[in-house]
């Protein structure tokens, strides 16, 4: 009997008997048991990360307040800050547990994929997680300071900045989530390329239309009305689209012959 690899043991929770020659033909009850165990592990991790975030929520609040500098916050109702910290803990826990959740989904469908498809899927998962955190970092270090500085500077002569923390958190949450999703554009392009729905060359030829759409989407997704933030977000969308197109062209040449895909 061949010794099970580390990847095989990690991909399938203990207690589920899986024959390598029949991986794609698991019985219904084994599928249900595997789903149950994966859901249990995923929910456990989410509760753990949310709990850790709640314990350290003050540090997270300080971290979120850094981009606004000297702006003072207030709560308009007695329980506003408490509710805001609960939401912060929930979103922080979900963010840091997302890679493991995506990994559980990938490992569930992995037995039905070919060897080349497994390599592509694993690579896309890592790239997707990396782009998610890169997008959140771009929003935190570039977009949020730009938007905040615009509003502070615009009314500096006539009004003192005193903001509701709940409103501020809703503002940066929308910006963080939208930017994180936007940074998934290259992954989506690669998937469309390997499904044969569009080629990298075709995507690249649409750059003029993408530039127009990026401008519109940047204006819609930006929670502020300042032109600088909209311009930065639109520029990021267009740049990511170009990167995704070039990456699709490169991967087509590397994997298309082995996968037998017609693009």
Which helix (H) or strand (E) element contains residue 219?
A: helix 207-221
Residues in a beta bridge with 162 = 72
Answer whether 62's CB lies under 8 Å from 93's CB: no
Query: So what's the pLDDT on residue 94?
Result: 84
pTM for this predicted structure: 0.69
Residue 131 burial (CB < 10 Å; 0-12/13-18/19+)? buried
> What is the DSSP-derived secondary structure letter of residue 158?
T
Beta bridge partners of 72: 162
Q: What is the SS3 assignment for 73?
A: strand
Q: What is the DSSP letter of 69?
A: T
Q: Three-state DSSP class for 35?
A: helix
Q: Is 154 exposed, middle or buried (0-12, 13-18, 19+ CB in 10 A)?
A: exposed
Q: Cα torsion for 50, 7, 257, 203, to the nearest 10°?
A: 10
Can you name the residues that pair with 74 across neighbouring β-strands?
164
> What's the pLDDT at 35?
74
Phi, psi torsion values for 162, nearest 5 degrees: -140, 105
164 strand-pairing partners:
74
If DSSP codes are grouped into helix, strand and coil, which group holds residue 247?
helix
Task: Kindly tell me the burial class for residue 169, based on how many C-beta atoms sit within 10 Å of its own C-beta (0-12, 13-18, 19 or more).
Answer: buried
Q: By the 8 A CB rule, do 147 and 168 touch?
A: no
For the chain, the structural domain boundaries read: 25-183, 185-263
Q: Tens of pLDDT along the chain (263 residues)?
A: 444 444 444 444 554 444 554 455 545 666 677 777 778 888 888 889 999 989 998 999 888 888 877 778 888 788 888 888 898 888 888 888 877 777 777 776 666 666 776 777 777 788 888 888 898 888 888 888 888 887 777 766 777 777 888 888 888 888 888 888 888 888 888 888 877 777 778 888 888 888 888 888 877 777 666 677 788 888 888 999 998 888 888 877 665 544 444 43
């Amino acid at each position: 009997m061949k010794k099970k690899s580390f990847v095989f043991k990690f991909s399938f929770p203990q207690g589920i008997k899986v024959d390598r020659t029949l991986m794609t033909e698991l019985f219904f009850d084994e599928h249900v048991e595997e789903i149950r165990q994966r859901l249990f592990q995923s929910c456990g991790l989410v509760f753990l990360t949310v709990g850790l975030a709640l314990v350290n929520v003050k540090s997270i609040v300080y971290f979120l307040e850094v981009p606004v500098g000297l702006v003072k916050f207030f709560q308009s109702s007695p329980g506003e800050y408490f509710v805001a910290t609960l939401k912060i803990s929930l979103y922080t826990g979900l963010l840091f547990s997302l890679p493991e959740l995506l990994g559980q989904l990938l490992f569930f469908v992995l037995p039905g994929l070919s060897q080349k498809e497994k390599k592509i899927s694993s690579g896309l998962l890592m790239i997707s997680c990396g782009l998610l955190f890169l997008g959140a970092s771009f929003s935190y270090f570039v977009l949020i300071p730009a938007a905040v500085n615009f509003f502070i500077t615009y009314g500096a002569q006539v009004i003192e900045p005193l903001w509701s923390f709940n409103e501020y958190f809703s503002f940066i949450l929308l910006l963080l989530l939208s930017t994180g999703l936007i940074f998934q554009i290259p992954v989506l392009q690669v998937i469309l390329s390997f499904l044969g729905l569009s080629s990298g060359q075709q995507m690249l030829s649409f750059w003029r239309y993408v530039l127009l759409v990026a401008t519109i989407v940047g204006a819609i997704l930006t929670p502020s009305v300042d032109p600088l933030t909209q311009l930065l977000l639109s520029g990021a969308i267009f740049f990511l689209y170009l990167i995704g197109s070039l990456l699709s062209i490169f991967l087509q040449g590397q994997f298309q012959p082995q996968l037998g895909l017609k693009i």
